[in-house]
Structure formats: C-alpha cells, structure tokens
A and B are shown apart, each in its own frame.
Chain A
Amino acid sequence: MDDLLADFIAETRDMLEASASEIVAWEADPSDRARLDTIFRFVHTVKGNCGFFDFPRLERLSHAAEDTLADCRAGRREPDSALVSAVLAIIDRIGEMVEAIEAGEDLAAGNDDGLVSALSQDPVIGIEPAPAATSKDTAASGGDKPGRAAAQRSIRLPVGLLDEVMKGVSDMVLARNDLSRRLREQSDDPALQSSFERLSAILADVRNSISRMRMQRLEHLFASLPRLVRDLSTELGKLVMVDCEGGDVELDREMVEIIRDPLTHIIRNAIDHGIEDPAARLKSGKREIGLLRFAARQSGNQITLVISDDGRGIDIDRIAAKALASGLRSSDELGLMGEREKQSLIFEPGLSTAEEISKVSGRGVGMDVVRANIEKVGGTIDISSTPGEGTVLYLQLPLTLSIISALTVESGGLRYAIPRSYVEEVMFASSAGVDYADAGARKLLTFRNSRVPCIELNDVLGSAPGENADQSDRTLVLIRLASDEILALAVDRVHDHEDVVVKPLAPALMQTRLYAGTTLLDDGRPMMLLDIPSIAATHGFSSEIRSRAAPDESAASRGQATGVPVILFAGLDGRRRAARLALVRRIDTVAREAIDIEGARAQVVINGRIFPLAGHLCGPLPEKRCRLLRLSDGQDELAYVVREVIDASWVTGEIAPSDGDPSIEGVALIDGKPVTLIDARQLFAERLGSTQTAGLLTCHLPDDDEWSRNILQPLLIEAGYAIEHDRCTQADLAILLSENPASASQSARTTIRVSSEPVGPDHDGSVYLYDREALLNALARARTERAA
C-alpha cells in the first residue's frame, strides 16, 4: 500500500508540474479547448486514483472540479474567469493535500465547502481562494519544506537508464563467474578468495536491488482492490466480493502504473453496469453477492490479467443502438457485425451505455481510454460476455524485461526453463500411485483421482531421448494451464528453481512456437524458456485465453457435452464395472498380505492406514499384488479391490437405475457396452458402519420414518451405537416397531421392540416410543447382555 501511495503522490506531483503551465494558459484564454481537456484529464485521474485510497476530501474536490469541467466540455456552461479561479483554487488545494499526504499528516480536518461552492453557477460565497491556498503556492510547486520530508520519497527515473544499469550488472555477474573460474584454477590464496567472496556477495545484493527496482508483485495492486470495490459497491448499493489470484506474479513497475488506471475504470464499469443490485440478483437465481475476480498469470514474456464478473453481461442490442444513435456505425455496418464485434464496440470512443451519469462512471471517459492505455504499452484487451452470466475482460500485457521464477529441466542433454507459475507439482514416474497408460497416440497418466494427459518433452522438441529414456525413470512436471487443465510433461531430469531474466527471441525462433524467450545461465550459456501455452495448444489443449473465459461455464458445458466422468475397471470376477471419477481419490497397489478379511469385515492397510475394503466378495483375490481404487466421499475413504483398472471414460447416455441391487447405482453404456456403475455411497454406508466405527455396536433402525431418523437415531448415537443401514448385514441390535411385524425378519443379536402406544411394564418387553428413560434403559440392558 505504501508503494502505491508513493506512486500516487509522485504521479500527482508530476501531473501538477506538467499542468502548471496549462493552467496559466487556460486562465489567459478560458475558451481554449485543448487546455480545458488537459485540466479535465488531470482532475479525472486524481479522482480515479482517490478511489484506491481513502481520501474523501481529495475525492470530493476532484469530483466537483470534474463535474464543472465536464459541463464546460459539453457546452452546458461557459468557462468564465470566476470559474477558472475556482478550478485553480481546487487544483492548488489538491497540491497542498498531496504534500500533506506525503508528510503523513492527517487530512480529515479542514473544510472545502468554500472551494466547492465557488464552482457553482451562483456562488454563495465570493470567489476568494482560501488564503491557505495562496500561501502554499510554493509548496505546490515542489519545494521541499523542512519537517515534511519524514516520509520516504520516491523519484522517477527513465526506464532506459534502469535497463542500462541492469545490463551492466548482468555483465558484471558474468565477468565475476569468469574470474571465479580463473581464481579456482590458479590461486588458493585465502586472502584473495575472501575478498573475492565479498565482491560476490555485494554483487548479488546489487543485482537483487536492481531487479527489485523494476519489478513489483501484482499483490501491491491487488491489495488495494477490495477497498476500492467495497467503496464503489456501497456507493451503488450493491454487494460485491473480490477474489484475487496470482498476486505473486511480478510485473514491471512501470506496467503496474500503467494498468492501475485502466483497472480502476474496469472495476467501476463492472460494479456499475455489470453486477446487478442484490434484489435483481436473487430474482435471477444468483447469489446476492456479486463476484469480481482477478486472475493474473505469466506466460513467457506476457502477463495475462483476467477480470471477470458474474453480473448481467453486456446488452449487445443496447450497445448497437447506442452506436447507431451516436453515429459510430451505420445500421448496415451493424447488421454485418457478429456478437463479439458488437461487444467490442464498448471500446469505441464516445460510447457509454450508462443511462444516467452516476458519480462512478458513465462520463464517456471509459473503455476507449482503457484500451488506448493498454495498447500504448503493446498490450491487448478483449472482452467476452454472456448475457445474464457475466463479462470477462482479458488483458494481455507484454513483459519486455522481466525476471521470472523458473524450474529448469533437462531433456535430450539440454536445459530448459519452465515458468514456475505453471508448475503444479513435480513427481517421479516411478513413485507409487503413478500409473502410465498408452491410449492411442497419447500417453495418459493416472495418479490420485485423476487422469492426466502426458507429453514427452523430447517428442515436443524432436530431440533424441536422453539417458533416462526408460519410462519409469522419467520425471514428470505437472503443469496447470491457465484454463485449469492439467498436463504432465515428461522430462529427463529436473534441476533447480532459478530466477531468470527473460530476453526476447529472434522472430525465426519465436515462430517455432516452442520457446517464449531465452535466458542466460550463470556460466553465460543461453537457455531456452519453453512456451508452455503454445506447446499445449499445439498438442491439442485449449488455448489459454478462450477457455479461461468462464471456468465454471466451461466445466458445466463439458459436463453436458461429455457426461459423467467415470473410471472403468474389471472387478475380481472379471466383469467390467465403473465408478464415478469424482469419488476415486487415487489408485493404489498393495501386496496381498495387506488385505485382511475376517468374516464380513475386510480391511486393507495402505501406507500405515487401515481402510475398509470393498469389492472382495465378487471373486478370488489376486495372488500377489492387488489393485485398489481408493474411493472417498469427502470425509471417509475406502478401498475397492479390482482386478484391473481399464481406463477413464465418460458416461454420455442415461444411467438406467437398477432396482434390486443396492450396491449398484445403475447400468450405463460405455463404448456401446453395458457397464454397471457401482454405488459408492452405498459402499460407504455399509463399510463405515462396520469398520470406521469399529468397536461401536451397530443397530438397525425401523423403517425409515421421521421418528426413527429424528428422535431414535440421535438417541442411539448418544448411547454409543452406530447405525447400520444395510438390512442384510447382521447388527448387534435391532429396533422394531411392534406395529410393523414385517420388519421383524432383520438379523440382529438383540431386538428392542417399540410401541406407539403407552405400554405397561410387563407388556412383551416393548417400550413406549416416547419414553426416553425406558428406551435408554433397554439400550443399556442390550449392551450388558452382549458383553455377558
């Protein structure tokens, strides 16, 4: 935050200095439109920046001045000398305040009513610039007053100079490395060594500071967003939640400054036009609270910043109508335009869809300025919106000189860097729980609960297989694409994490779509930085931006298009079955000895933990090693023993429910063949009664009715019983309703009969169902009987 504040102060001071001459010129000729525009931009920017910080006085002043100047620009008001003086007084006051903010003084005190009312057409108070304003003129012009320099000051430097220094330091590091090599070869003088060490340490520090000079984590920018959003949404009577991701992405300080302003505009727009008020949201079936999401990611020398809201989206028709009304496009032109093109119209100057000008947005200094600012630095901005569901803005920003954190890997004897932001995890193909499967041309990797497509880096690069070509020796780098898809990149070896300075590549090499840049290793040799998004796209993964569009949507549509993901396996009897992939946590292999079956109770030990076992009843266990599907319902886990895991697949059609067998959810067609889908929920219900709660007595409940669920069950659990839902499993206790003899067939060691009528003490041992005391006594009796 302090960084941002320092930037704000530096920027405002710069602008004040730059506009000083404009202000004088405007005073001389109030009808000068160009001057008016410059001053308008100044107060507009100040107003925008104030949104980041809590400076109500500054905001009020700049907003008032902006209002007045906007009137002048629109021709609603003629600038006269009185107005000019009033605006100048405000600008002076802004200058003073900025000085005060910098010195850390409290701004809350003070009254600007006089200044603001001087702007109105019929000033109540005479146009007397506050005496303070005149006396502080010297301060506004940048003089350093004693006693005010307590805060850390920041200065601005040309970026070119920083580049030069940076390059110089890089050269120094290489020279140092060279020197180090020669020293090792020729001298073992400790004095020389130690002074060389000192030099190295200093150089490392300098290098670090130089890097920091330019880079700033996006966090700094993100940190200010919740506050800004809160203030804007309160003002507009909306509820908005902020979600930021990728705050650790580092961006050129300059770039952060450049996107700050556009970002403010985008947020204003999203809250003002995008997100509906809470009532409207509830009406359309959304959560009351709108979500504004920021996600940043670095890909090679580009930063992608995605800003999405879940508001009402863009009304294309209204945009088109506006464009037509304001003469931006003719109706013929509009007729030829696709939806996306029409959406992009919001970037055109002069198009504002706000019906009424609010304090927040809709002055026509909007998305066109945003786009201009982004394009000025070589970035792009794109929009995609779904009516009723939200709007997503994509900002692509270049990163000409950047330091990124990278993972270095080896393939075919050469080292490559992978941006750390993509790397999810590194693992060895030989480790337990990782399983390869060749599915046609593509390798698939099964681990934990997911199937992950796997690409060989050697194949991608067309390089010769390295020494570790054997599949089981490969190291796998799991990569999460910006679309949230995961893929595994198999490499010969993983070396290290390193911070690397990325340099641009010659066009001919960029065209390979394999590399995003190059960097120099410590020994001065170049190393290529892999262009992960392009490689993924070349290998059939969705390109980063499009599918980022709406992660939730795409997931939903994928679900609709391809059905339920399942894992296909052969049970111990050899029959093909399937389990919902969502339930499969991972696939394990254990030795036969790890499985312990005793009567109805079966358990397996995996990594020192005991899991209930299922699936063992359908056939003989394999002799040596058993494959297990580890299923999880989110709370508990159980292991389902299988003969073979066949494949991951999708159930696209209907799942025909099966009547008789409760352990089967239904039958589905997979690749044209019927496959039974196991009902894991049922498995959990069965096993957990017997194993997780081992030691507890089990109990059958009478048929599922309100009473047994709401009254009896809590009572039983309190008394130390576990509920056994499967009627075919023997339980320690059964509770029967006297009125319902049909359920008497249940198998239980002890039975307690309950009656819905009050009963006498001798009445065939049954208990009145609302007699809590009697019930607890009966339970206690049942317990002791068993123990005896």
Chain B
Amino acid sequence: MNQLLLLCMIAGRKAAIAASEVRSVIEIEAFTPVPGAPRHIPGLTALRSQALTLIDCRSVLGFEPSEEIIGLRAAVVELNGHSYALLLDEAHDVAEAMSAPEPVPGGFGEGWQNAATGMVETVEGPALVLDVERLIGGQLAQAA
C-alpha cells in the first residue's frame, strides 16, 4: 500500500505532507505574535490547552512571509515533544500516493529542493513531499 498524504498548497504549488505525521488540520483563528523570533515563526497559537508554534512554510521555502495569517489552514505536527502548526495556503484531502517517490526534478528553487524528500503522483497531479523536520528547522532558502 502506498503512503497516505495530506495534499495542500504552499506558495501556489502543490505539496504533500505524510499524513502519518499530521495530527489534525486546523484553521488559524487567532495567534500571538512573538517579537524577536526567527522570521519563519510568526507566533504561537493554541489548540485547546496546548500551545502550537506557527511555522510559515512560505517563509521557510524562501518566499515572502504570509501576510494574513488568520484564516489560513495549518497542519498540526509534533516533533521532539513540541507541537507545531505548519501554515498552508490551502489544505485539500488526504489521499494515497499513486507512485513511489521519485527524486525531486530540478527547477523548483532552492527552498523546495531542500525541503522535499521526493515527488509523487497524486490524484491532483504531481506533488512534492515535504519533510516536516526540515520545515520546522527553518530557513531553507534566502527569501526571493
């Protein structure tokens, strides 16, 4: 059986995150900015009694940071005991990958190249599979 993926849009491009890593998908209703934090961390939001660190995937991938954060969808993931919300432009469906991951072809730019583990075919067409740990790690490319 092929990997289950959360299909989403980041900076206008189709992307996918392994569904096994995603605990839930939420809509950001409010958040607390954190001055002095790295560029890709706009702040914190809360999911029930838990604080989530927001990760702006656009910024991580080298695009301009998201302007309006409220209303965005986010994938809630956990890494080393901390919970994060990965900001996405849109979150679509969970679907099965239709092919084995292939190496990322060139031409996507530094950020995508660094964040993606491979490219798979999905119902919505080819998508880059993003590695959660690398996204959380931060700046993967100079801002465009």
Residue positions of A touching B, CB distance < 8 A: 167, 170-171, 173-174, 412, 414, 460-463, 503-509, 511-512, 514-515, 518, 520, 524-528
Contacts and interface: CB of A to CB of B under 8 A. Distances in A.
Q: Which residue, B34, B41, B48, has most C-beta atoms of chain A within 10 A?
A: B34
B65 interface: no
A414 B50 CA distance: 19
Interface string B61-90: 000000000000000000011101000000
Contacts of A515: 34
Contact size range, B: 20 to 34
28 contacts: A171-B48, A174-B48, A174-B49, A414-B33, A414-B35, A460-B36, A461-B35, A461-B36, A462-B35, A462-B36, A463-B35, A505-B53, A505-B82, A506-B41, A506-B53, A506-B136, A507-B80, A507-B82, A508-B138, A509-B34, A509-B37, A512-B36, A514-B36, A526-B32, A526-B43, A526-B44, A526-B45, A526-B46
Given A463-B35, A506-B84, A167 B49 contact: yes
A518 B46 CA distance: 11
A520 B51 contact: yes
Nearest to A412: B35
B26 to A, nearest CB: 13
A414 B32 contact: yes
A33 B33 CA distance: 59
Q: Which residue, A505, A518, A526, A528, has most C-beta atoms of chain B within 10 A?
A: A526
B92 to A, nearest CB: 27
B109 interface: no
Interface in B1-50: 30-38, 41, 43-46, 48-50
A512 B34 CA distance: 10
B35 A504 contact: no
B118 to A, nearest CB: 25
Contacts of A463: 35
Contacts of A504: 81-82
B134 to A, nearest CB: 13
Q: Which residue, A412, A503, A509, A514, has most C-beta atoms of chain B within 10 A?
A: A509
A174 B49 CA distance: 7
A526 B35 contact: no
A528 B82 contact: no
Nearest to B45: A526
A520 B49 contact: yes
Nearest to B79: A506
Contacts of B38: 508, 511-512
A170 B138 CA distance: 30
B49 A170 contact: yes
Given A414-B33, A526-B32, 20 more contacts: A167-B49, A171-B49, A174-B48, A461-B35, A461-B36, A462-B36, A463-B35, A503-B50, A505-B53, A506-B53, A508-B37, A508-B38, A508-B53, A509-B53, A518-B44, A518-B51, A520-B51, A524-B49, A526-B51, A528-B34
A369 B37 CA distance: 40
A527 B46 CA distance: 10
A525 B36 contact: no
Contact of A528 (B31, B32, B138): B32
A503 B52 CA distance: 11
A524 B49 CA distance: 7
Contacts of B136: 506, 508
Nearest to A513: B36
A346 to B, nearest CB: 34
B37 A512 contact: yes
A525 B34 contact: no
A171 B84 CA distance: 18
A257 B51 CA distance: 29
Q: Which residue, A171, A504, A508, A512, has most C-beta atoms of chain B within 10 A?
A: A508
Nearest to B33: A414
Contacts of B138: 508
A170 B51 CA distance: 12
Contacts of A503: 50-51
A253 to B, nearest CB: 21
B2 to A, nearest CB: 31
Contacts of B37: 508-509, 512
Contacts of A525: 30-32, 46
A525 B138 CA distance: 24
A528 B31 CA distance: 12
A612 B44 CA distance: 58
